[in-house]
Amino acid sequence: MELQALHHVTMVTGDAPANVAFYRDLLGLRMIKKTVNFDQPEAYHLYFGDDGATPGSVLTWFEFPGAPRGVAGAGMIHTLQLGVGGEAALEFWKDRLDSAGYPASVEGGVLRFADYDGLALELHADTHGNPPLTAAHPDVPAEHALTGVQGARAYAADPQSAHELLTLTLGFDHKREYEYVLGAGGRHVHWAYDQSAERGREGAGTVHHIAWHSRDEDHLGWQQRVRDAGQHVTDVRDRDYFKAIYFRTEQGILFEIATTSPGFAVDEDAANLGEALRLPSQHEHLRAHLERRLTPL
């Protein structure tokens, strides 16, 4: 079994309209799904990605209206790394972000900035051969479009303690101190820890979990493999667009392993992803209530 790199990353926001304005309208991602949290259906769950809703491009958010801003600390992801097509794209994005009121700095082929909730983001000109996963946007030239998630960095009090789980159980390659790469089938993702024992605070602008990508036929095998490694892993959860298992690492990060199928076009036409409110079947009876309560997008 080999994990197929990244499936998605899920964050928390306090403002769904601002989320759409930033990630769709400013960064040019496609809004691929407008649904609700399985466990808290009065909270939006919004998905963004490339035009094909491809694993490896997908960023998602739970919206809890008015949630106070959080702070990343030990046991939390603090930075997401996205790809672009090259150095010229960094200059395009610096100008576009600065003009929109999001100050950005460029150094060593990396552009750094933060979103409206304070989530730290990086654009990397060197994507290490990853095939591009892009979305079309009228204000973003195709050659400058974001090309998918390249990596993430987290804080941990003891980063070395993650080594065995990552390499022996999950199949990450160790590259250098606390830095790893995962991927099979032509796509890979970078994962790294920075040492810190400072406590964080969950809230808007923080990462809820990160999901690695499994082939459908390997999913139960991964559940058993993680369990055999001494992790407390959940049963398989049907998330409509993929199957998922979850476990929290010793460092405090919530890991998910998600399948490829059935994909985001299972309940709406691929050409119209993200346009209508889609509800999990167990919450369909709440549609009228939720359409009145959820902020129109």
DSSP-assigned letters across all residues of 151-213: EEEEEES-GGGGHHIIIIIS-PEEEETTEEEE--TT--EEEEEEE-----B-SBTSEEEEEEE
- Positions of the chain with pLDDT lower than 70, given as ranges: 184-185
Here the tokens at position 148 are 């998918």
Q: Helix (H, G, I), strand (E, B), or coil: what is residue 82?
A: strand
Is residue 110 within 8 A of residue 94, CB to CB? The reply is no
Q: Helix (H, G, I), strand (E, B), or coil: what is residue 140?
A: strand
Q: What was the pLDDT predicted at 185?
A: 63
Q: What was the pLDDT predicted at 33?
A: 98
Is residue 233 within 8 A of residue 41, CB to CB? The reply is no
Q: What was the pLDDT predicted at 266?
A: 95
Q: What is the distance, to the nearest Å, from the Cα of residue 164 to the centroid of all Cα atoms in its chain?
A: 24
Single pTM value for the model = 0.96
Here the tokens at position 56 are 């490896």
Evaluated on CA atoms 19, 237, 57, 269, the torsion sign reads negative
Contacts of 113 (CB under 8 A, 6+ apart): 97, 102, 103, 104, 105, 121
